[in-house]
Amino acid sequence: MNYFLTEEQQMIKDLAAKIADEKIKPVALKYDEEGIFPRDIVKVLADSDLFGVYIPEEYGGFGGGIFEMALVVEELSRACGGIALAYAGTGLGTYPIILFGTEEQKAKYLPDIAQGKKLAAFGLTEANAGSDAAGIQTTAKADGDEYILNGTKQWITNGGEAEVYTVIACTDRSKGARGFSAFIVEKGTPGFSFGKKENKMGIRASVTSELVFEDCRIPRENLLAREGMGFLVAMKTLDRTRPGVASQALGIAQGAFDEALKYSGERVQFDKPISSFQAIQHMLADMAIQIEAARCLVYQTCRHIDGGAKSISKESAISKVFASDTAMKVTVDAVQVMGGYGYMKEYPVEKMMRDAKITQIYEGTNQIQRNVIALELIKSQKVSK
Amino acid sequence: MNVIVCVKQVPGTNEVKMNKETNTIIREGAEAIINPFDTYAVEEGVRIKEQTGGKATVISMGIPSVAELLRQTIAVGIDEAVLLSDRAFAGSDSLATSYALSKGINKIGDFDLVICGKQAMDGDTAQVGPGLAEKLGIPHTTYVRKIEEIRKGYIRCQRMTEDGYEVIEMPLPAVITVVKEINEPRLPSLKGMMKAKKAEIRIMTADDIGADKDLCGLKGSPTQVVETFVPVHDVNSEMIEGTPGEQVKRLAEKLLSMKFMTVK
Amino acid sequence: MSGIRIIEESCIGCRLCVKACPFGAIRMDGRKAVILDNCTLCGICVPACKFNAIDYEKGPVSNAVDITKYSGVWIFAEQKNGVPEPISYELLGAGRKLADDRKTRLTAVVIGDKLSDACEKLIAYGADEVMAVEDGSLAVYNDESYSDIFVQMIRKGRPEILLMGATTYGRSLAPRIASRINTGLTADCTRLEIDPADGKLLQTRPAFGGNLMATIICPNHRPQMATVRHKVMKPLEPDYSRKGLVTRPEVSIPRETSVKVREVVKTIFEMVSLAEADVIVSGGRGLGAPENFKLINELAEVLGGAVGASRATVDAGWIEYNHQVGQTGQTVGPHVYFACGISGAVQHLAGMSSSDIIVAINKNPDAPIFKVATFGIVGDAMEILPLLIKEFKAALG
């Protein structure tokens, strides 16, 4: 299918695909098994300039948008959804700066991120603030030229590995959701440490850990946007990066499908390759149908966002839900097509099935996404009335 | 230090299927690629340039479309690409190729080191490197697995041998051919790819490089192919069944009955 | 003028040439074949055409020599520390047959230091004459001095055929010499025979990773040079009663070479090298972990063989590159090749499929290695290997 990518987008996709096939595929199972952070792959990605695709040119990037980032995430996820997250998680941590950063903040942080010298992370979730982000307990108290942060962020992708963190904390509890603010915190700041490293079902090559703030003092200039805009910063960021999760799901699904298709041609039962049996053929066809539909949706959503559309919450939620549900279905079916071999760790599809599950959960569960979609639908009804 | 790297375009696959009825070969969808061994040569050339300053140039001989392939080398750090392309070069064996490349390299001029891959994947002859060095009148070392030291006028490198390696010193300019152990080629960068897209590939004809056409192509090639055929591998595969213990016993019996082992 | 063209009257549009062309350089235009610009003039299409519809004109070649002034078959006898390498005997075996067919003499050229034992052996293995160049400075192979000396000898002795081993040194020396004297060189020949019609050397070699064989001649230049891989040619039974001539040709030995071999380091200490081994035990990813190569080593030791490896294990850093078998590693041809936990990618098969007997051990019954295997065992190499080691230890004492 012709997806009408620009020449540069095609170049980015091809380069990411090359890295996925040559560098990530051979080590994906090892990283999954050992659950270690893929520093060497991050180096390869940095050398390839891919960290800069969505960063404005004036800060050393290529000036692309969410679409360019999604193309990279999709290709990397085809080989390993976990390793891809070191990249995608950096995008998530960087977008608040791109969207809301001052000239000085951008000039300070974006060039290093674009060159892959620094990774980023996004700190929103807490033990009691999952789907209900308003339950954030971490506080930031103004004190002269500084803010003092206290609290613990949980399940933070790239936690401990990233150098730049954008963190949402409460500056005024009395104002509810309007009492949150967003801050940039650098690794190494006194009072900022890393807690428990999680042992996960899937995306095991991605590191997920706690961010612990104990009287952590940061300069006032690290405030993003204005006080009280933290919730908005978080929501606007997530609206933009959801297609990133969608493309991660899409890549995982594609990777599993490729394995299943290849296997079905090689595996011989009853003296025939199993791809000659209709039961298998229909499964493969269904997988392909869903993947193609997901890709068209994700790509179109990215174009919608990058085109400067004002209303993007519903669209980005739809793409995230559809692509992640697709990834789950396709990976389960890929294991089924491959039977006992699919269930074994020597073949990559059981890992892909484990990796797929998270895409239905994080950056807003698919249930929350449906809430968002429904809310927007109802809102539009009211407006049109 | 200025480095010239020789690369060759080869078919992307060596899989040759045979049409049993006509006894001819069928080659399908063979995309052209840069000879994999040459990618190590390119990487080494770029590294030497990065370490010592100077320029890294690739040179190839082939049909005009090879020019597009050479852009890949620019994407990984080569400064300039030169393609020798002329009908007069068609049908070259390794001697005629060595001659044409030597003329091209002399035309580029001002070089310290020429690097070739160990051999080409399609021909597997490994002859052009040494043949080229002879035509250039400079020393060569084959199968280099490591450059220990390189500076103006001097190189010390390790040549891989059947049971280890040798440390060899040569004056520069010289030719080396490299094995894959020497490095791990980098992937292209986006910036490199953008540069490659815009780069101009210099195409030179036999006249441009002052080559004697009598020494090029078919005319300059002492060897001729008189026949080709697809080898027949008649394998009578026998799968040995049973428990691991039984399998091993039967396999050992079969092999021992063949007396395959020379007495040691 | 040399070139190629389709004789339109004769072309019936059967497409045989299109299929034969390895470069995709022939296209059908209507019912006639057309040769495209990317033709390399390799000539493969010419014999493929059953209707003589391809006119392939080589034209007058340059630098042709008077071939009647050349006679005799020479081989380059490689030696280490005064002991001929096995390849030298294999070349003598091949050379003997060619010399007999041409009714001429077989000469071994040996360069080195302290060669008297070597000369004797080379005669026992079939040489009529041994030309020995001895000098302390020649003890270790050196591209520059060896090629200088060899070229002097060729210019004086004018052999019609010169064979060398497709060894590290042979593959360096032969092209250097061929380039200096402007003659043809065919690498890695697997068959050498004399054309009974005109006495030319027919040199057959694999191309495209062994998927195609090509027979090559060198009609107008001398010597006709070829390299031969290890284990391809059979040595004769040595006969120490054979009489032969040992000569010391007058050559000038370069006193000062610009190429200097400073050190010779051995890193592989097994009894036999991959190239020369009769038995090779190779391991692949199926071994599961690098430390499991010790089982491969052990079986190889029991069988007096060498250790091989798949590309994947070398790339993963489990074992050194010198052990890699396959297209990007070494090409081997032992009597028995054990592929343990190797799936058998085409690139691997290209490097070992000429082995006499191939034993494949792999968990996956669909692994391509079983397609070339003489004996196949579907099972875990880690389970089979210890049993095999035990079994052979018992059988071989």
Q: Which residue of A47, A49, A50 is in closest CB contact with B186?
A: A47
Q: Which residues on adjacent β-strands are paired with residue B81? A: B58
Residue ranges and CATH numbers for the domains of chain A are: 7-119 (1.10.540.10), 121-230 (2.40.110.10), 234-379 (1.20.140.10)
Assess whether pLDDT exceeds 70 at residue C322: yes
Instruction: Answer with the one of C189, C223, C247 that is the final residue of a domain.
Output: C247
Q: Are C166 and C187 in contact (CB under 8 A)?
A: yes
Residue A40, judged by CB atoms within 10 A of its CB (0-12, 13-18, 19+), counts as exposed
Percent helix, strand, coil in chain C, to 5, is 30, 25, 45
The structure tokens 């998927």 sit at C211
Segment C111-155, tens digit of pLDDT? 999 999 999 999 999 999 999 999 999 999 999 999 999 999 999
Angle at the Cα of C116 from the Cα atoms of C113 and C117, rounded to 5 degrees: 105
DSSP state of A264: H
Instruction: Kindly provide the ipTM of the predicted complex, given to two decimals.
Output: 0.88
Cα A289 to Cα A296, B15, C319: the distances in Å are 11, 32, 44
Please tell me the distance from the alpha carbon of residue C113 to that of residue C132, in angstroms, as a whole number: 9
Q: Which residue of A11, A44, A53 is in closest CB contact with B193?
A: A11
Q: CA neighbours within 13 Å on the CB side: how many for B234?
A: 0
Nearest residue to C17 via CA among B22, B217, B91, B65:
B22
Mutation to test the C interface, candidates B258, B261, B263, most C Cβ within 10 Å: B261
Name the average pLDDT for chain C.
Answer: 89
Same-domain check for residues C207 and C84 = yes
pLDDT on residue C231: 79
Contact A23 B187 (CB under 8 A): yes
Same-domain check for residues C230 and C110 = yes
Q: Which residue of C19, C188, C373 is in closest CB contact with B19?
A: C19
Chains that touch A (3 or more CB pairs under 8 A): B, C
Please tell me the distance from the alpha carbon of residue B175 to that of residue C180, in angstroms, as a whole number: 15
Same-domain check for residues C117 and C231 = yes
Q: Are C188 and B120 in contact (CB under 8 A)?
A: no
Contact B190 A19 (CB under 8 A): no
Token pair in block for residue A110: 């974006």
Please tell me the distance from the alpha carbon of residue C35 to that of residue B71, in angstroms, as a whole number: 27
Q: Are strands C375-378 and B238-239 parallel, antiparallel or unpaired?
A: parallel
Residue C313, judged by CB atoms within 10 A of its CB (0-12, 13-18, 19+), counts as buried
Q: Is the peptide bond before C223 cis (omega within 30 degrees of 0)?
A: yes
Q: Which residue of B186, B188, B190 is in closest CB contact with A62?
A: B190
Segment A147-185, tens digit of pLDDT? 999 999 999 999 999 999 999 999 999 998 899 999 999
Query: Smallest CA–CA separation between C154 and chain B, in Å?
Result: 16
Q: Is the peptide bond before B139 cis (omega within 30 degrees of 0)?
A: no
Token pair in block for residue C17: 């040439």
CATH code for the domain in which residue C17 is found: 3.30.70.20
Name chain C contacts of A26, Cβ cutoff 8 Å: 312, 315-316
How many residues appear in chain B?
264
Cα distance from N-terminal residue to C-terminal residue, chain A: 40
Token pair in block for residue C164: 């060398």
Assess whether pLDDT exceeds 90 at residue C321: no
Decide if C254 is inside a domain: no
The structure tokens 């890699």 sit at C324
Q: Are C225 and C184 in contact (CB under 8 A)?
A: yes
CA dihedral C63, C69, C75, C78 (to 10 degrees): -70
Angle at the Cα of B168 from the Cα atoms of C164 and C177, rounded to 5 degrees: 30
Same-domain check for residues C236 and C284 = no
Token pair in block for residue B80: 């300039």
Query: Smallest CA–CA separation between B232 and chain C, in Å?
Result: 9
Assess whether pLDDT exceeds 90 at residue A64: yes
CA A299 and chain centroid, separation? 15
Identify the three-state secondary structure at position C315: helix
Token pair in block for residue A157: 């992708």
Interface of C with A (CB under 8 A): 312, 315-316, 366
Name chain B contacts of A49, Cβ cutoff 8 Å: 189-191
The structure tokens 């020649």 sit at C138
Least confident of B16-20, C4-8, C92-96, C162-166: B16-20
Name chain C contacts of B254, Cβ cutoff 8 Å: 375
Assess whether pLDDT exceeds 80 at residue C79: yes
> For the residues A216-225, what does the mean pLDDT come to?
96
CA C291 and chain centroid, separation? 33
Q: Which of A33, A126, A363, A376 is catalytic?
A: A363
The CATH code for residues B3-215 is: 3.40.50.620
Please tell me the distance from the alpha carbon of residue B193 to that of residue B80, in angstroms, as a whole number: 14
Assess whether pLDDT exceeds 80 at residue A333: yes
Per-residue 3-state assignment (H helix, E strand, C coil) for B227-258 = EEECCCCCCCCEECCCCHHHHHHHHHHHHHHC
Query: Smallest CA–CA separation between B139 and chain A, in Å?
Result: 35
Q: Kindly write down the DSSP assignment for every residue of B184-231, as one continuous string.
A: -PPPP-HHHHHHHHHPPPEEE-TTTTT--GGGSTTTT---EEEEEEPP
Same-domain check for residues C239 and C200 = yes
**C272 falls in which pLDDT band (50, 70, 90)?**
low
Please tell me the distance from the alpha carbon of residue B157 to that of residue B172, in angstroms, as a whole number: 12
Token pair in block for residue B163: 């049971």
**C200 falls in which pLDDT band (50, 70, 90)?**
very high
Helix (H) or strand (E) holding C165: strand C161-165
In this structure, which amino acid lies at residue C127?
A
Name chain C contacts of A267, Cβ cutoff 8 Å: 366
DSSP state of A22: I
Query: Smallest CA–CA separation between B44 and chain C, in Å?
Result: 17
Same-domain check for residues C86 and C229 = yes
Contact C357 B220 (CB under 8 A): no
Same-domain check for residues C231 and C113 = yes
Q: Are strands B80-84 and B56-61 parallel, antiparallel or unpaired?
A: parallel
Same-domain check for residues C29 and C111 = no
DSSP state of B130: H
Decide if C343 is inside a domain: yes
Segment C204-261, tens digit of pLDDT? 988 776 777 889 999 999 999 999 988 788 899 999 999 999 999 999 999 889 999 9
DSSP state of C60: P
Same-domain check for residues C187 and C243 = yes
Residue of B nearest to A21 (CA): B187
Cα B124 to Cα A263, B98, B117, C327: the distances in Å are 32, 15, 11, 9
Instruction: Answer with the one of C247, C264, C296 that is the final residue of a domain.
Output: C247
Whether A57 has its CB under 8 Å from any CB of chain B: the answer is no
Decide if C259 is inside a domain: no
What is the domain range of residue C238? Answer: 67-247
Contact C366 A267 (CB under 8 A): yes
Q: Which comes out higher in pLDDT, residue C159 or C59?
A: C159
Count of the separate structural domains present in chain C? 3
Same-domain check for residues C303 and C225 = no
Please tell me the distance from the alpha carbon of residue C385 to that of residue B247, in angstroms, as a whole number: 11
CATH code for the domain in which residue C88 is found: 3.40.50.620
**Where are the extended beta strands (E) located within A59-191?**
120-123, 139-143, 146-157, 164-170, 180-186
How many A×C Cβ pairs under 8 Å?
A: 6
Cα distance from N-terminal residue to C-terminal residue, chain B: 52
Residue of A nearest to B188 (CA): A48
Assess whether pLDDT exceeds 90 at residue C397: no
Q: Which comes out higher in pLDDT, residue C208 or A70?
A: A70
Segment C323-371, tens digit of pLDDT? 999 877 888 888 899 999 999 887 788 788 878 899 999 998 888 899 8
Contact C366 A26 (CB under 8 A): no
> For the residues A104-111, what does the mean pLDDT come to?
97
Q: Kindly write down the DSSP assignment for every residue of A31-85, as one continuous string.
A: HHHHT---HHHHHHHHHTTGGGTTS-GGGTS----HHHHHHHHHHHHHH-HHHHH
Mutation to test the C interface, candidates A31, A264, A346, A347, most C Cβ within 10 Å: A346
How many B×C Cβ pairs under 8 Å?
A: 323
Query: Smallest CA–CA separation between C357 and chain A, in Å?
Result: 25
Residue A185 has phi, psi (to 5 degrees) of -120, 130
**C29 falls in which pLDDT band (50, 70, 90)?**
confident
Query: Smallest CA–CA separation between C253 and chain B, in Å?
Result: 17
Query: Smallest CA–CA separation between B243 and chain C, in Å?
Result: 9
Q: Are strands C3-6 and C54-57 parallel, antiparallel or unpaired?
A: antiparallel
Same-domain check for residues C94 and C40 = no
Decide if C191 is inside a domain: yes
How many residues appear in chain C?
397
Per-residue pLDDT of chain B (264 residues; tens, 9 = 90+): 999 999 999 877 655 555 544 444 555 556 788 999 999 999 999 999 999 999 999 999 998 989 999 999 999 999 999 999 998 998 889 999 999 999 999 999 999 999 999 998 877 789 999 999 999 999 999 999 999 999 999 999 999 998 889 999 999 999 999 998 999 999 999 999 999 999 999 999 999 999 999 999 888 999 988 887 777 666 678 888 888 889 999 998 888 887 665 443
Per-residue 3-state assignment (H helix, E strand, C coil) for B60-96 = EECCCCHHHHHHHHHHCCCCEEEEECCHHHCCCCHHH
Least confident of A121-135, B216-230, C57-71: C57-71
Same-domain check for residues C50 and C117 = no
Please tell me the distance from the alpha carbon of residue A211 to that of residue A302, in angstroms, as a whole number: 31
Least confident of A260-264, B202-206, C243-247, C287-291: C287-291
Residue B174 has phi, psi (to 5 degrees) of -155, 170
Residue A104 among the catalytic residues: no
Restricting to A residues 354-383, those with a Cβ less than 8 Å away from any Cβ of B are none
Assess whether pLDDT exceeds 80 at residue C63: no
Q: Which residue of B14, B19, B248 is in closest CB contact with C391?
A: B248
Least confident of A91-100, B143-152, B232-241, C163-172: B232-241
Name chain A contacts of B184, Cβ cutoff 8 Å: none
Q: Which of A268-272, B229-233, C273-277 has the highest mean pLDDT?
A: A268-272
Nearest residue to B211 via CA among B97, B47, B116, B112:
B97
Q: Which residue of B143, B231, B262 is in closest CB contact with C278?
A: B262
Residue of B nearest to C59 (CA): B219
Least confident of A322-326, B60-64, C175-179: B60-64
Please tell me the distance from the alpha carbon of residue B105 to that of residue B208, in angstroms, as a whole number: 12
pLDDT on residue B263: 40
